[in-house]
Amino acid sequence: MSTVLGTLPRVSFCIPTLNSEGTLEKCLKSIRKQRYPDFEILIIDGCSTDRTLKIAERYADSIWFCKGSLGEARQIGVEKSTGEILALFDDDVVIPQSNWLTKAVKRFDDDGNVSTVWPLVISPPYSSLFARCYSNFSNEVKMDRLRSGRGYIGGTIALFRKRCVEEVGGFDRRLPWGEDFDIAKKLKEGGYRVVFHKDPLFHETMMTIDEFLKKQILGARTFLRTGFDLMNLDANDLFYEHLVVGFNGMLRGLFKQRDESWLLFPLLLITRLSAYATVSITSNFTNRSVNVESLKLRHSKI
């Protein structure tokens, strides 16, 4: 793949969205400001009811509709794209530098076996304290996984060679959440490499505890069905990441970096634990109720 200026490969930004009028315009504006010779923007909309579509029409090259899962929306983007490189972004990602894309695409030349250029993703300067805490902890974990080779990294909010994604079968259309772990797993098992790109992207997410809780509940429901094999992690790994990596990061953040957002880290852990515990208890109660009803039905037929 040549990256001589003028022959840079076409990049397809594939962005699933749903009722994102608050973040989508900033995302698409930042893409349009890229000093890059050839790219397209595809929006995959989940039938939004706010101003999302009107915003998309001003910036996107094409708009597709998907009422299905996030995995299905991602796969539609892959199939409808025309670029050699896929930029699989969320609708709340902002590119802060106009030359970001050019520098990131050139990282594919590091190795012909690179499937993924995985950038640093941070909370924007105007973020809430909780969003900064989430971003800080998330990056501590990601960097630890990168160093150790533990788990899967580079699933989305990244650049991908389209042919690599296609060769491993693309995204699992059934997954409502965790499709990023699934594609990262497939690419790793396919023998492809992830390279880390230090130029950051802004991710306007987890601004409130309520938003974080809702996404944790969705994740818990997915893992209840698939197990944590989706992330290639076991209970010891999760314990290590949350308690060792997390609290080491908190101490370093508070005392060396003077970042007060780390004060909210215990609250983040409690919220995550509460979400997973609630989903687990609810699932067990539902299963017991179904079993009791099935037993009653069998007895009534005797």
Per-residue model confidence as pLDDT tens digits over 33-55: 999 999 999 999 999 999 999 99
Under CATH, what is the fold of the domain 11-205?
A: Spore Coat Polysaccharide Biosynthesis Protein SpsA; Chain A (3.90.550)
What confidence tens digit (pLDDT) does each residue in 4-35 have? 444 899 999 999 999 999 999 999 999 999 99
The predicted pLDDT at position 67 comes to: 94
Domain boundaries, the chain: 11-205
pLDDT-above-90 percentage for the chain: 77
Which 3 state secondary structure label does DSSP give 41? strand
Instruction: Please state, in angstroms and rounded to a whole number, the distance separating the CA atoms of residues 264 and 134.
Output: 9
Query: pLDDT for 122-145, tens place per residue?
Result: 999 999 999 999 999 999 999 999
Q: Are 45 and 58 in contact (CB under 8 A)?
A: no
Q: What's the mean pLDDT when you consider all of the chain?
A: 90
Give me the residue label for tokens 């880390």. Answer: 196
pLDDT in tens, 203-260: 999 999 999 999 999 888 877 776 666 778 888 998 999 999 999 999 999 999 999 9
> Of all residues in the chain, what percent carry a pLDDT higher than 70?
90
* Residues 116 and 159: beta-carbon distance below 8 Å: yes
In degrees rounded to 5, what are phi and psi of residue 87? -105, 100
Number of H helices, E strands in the chain: 11, 8
What single letter denotes the amino acid at residue 118? W
pLDDT digits (tens, 9 = 90+) for 87-96: 999 999 999 9
pLDDT number for residue 292: 39
Q: Partners of 11 in the beta sheet?
A: 39, 85
The pLDDT tens digits of the residues spanning 57-80 come to 999 999 999 999 999 999 999 999
**pLDDT for res 178:** 87
Res. 297: pLDDT tops 80? no
Per-residue pLDDT at 221? 86
Q: Does 287 have pLDDT greater than 80?
A: no
Question: Is the model's pLDDT at 164 over the cut of 90?
Answer: yes
201-222: burial string, b at 16+ Cβ within 10 Å, e else: bbbbbbbebeebbebbbbbbbb
d(C-alpha 188, C-alpha 165), whole Å: 11
Q: In the chain, where do the E strands start and end?
A: 11-17, 39-45, 62-65, 85-88, 93-94, 114-122, 158-161, 193-203
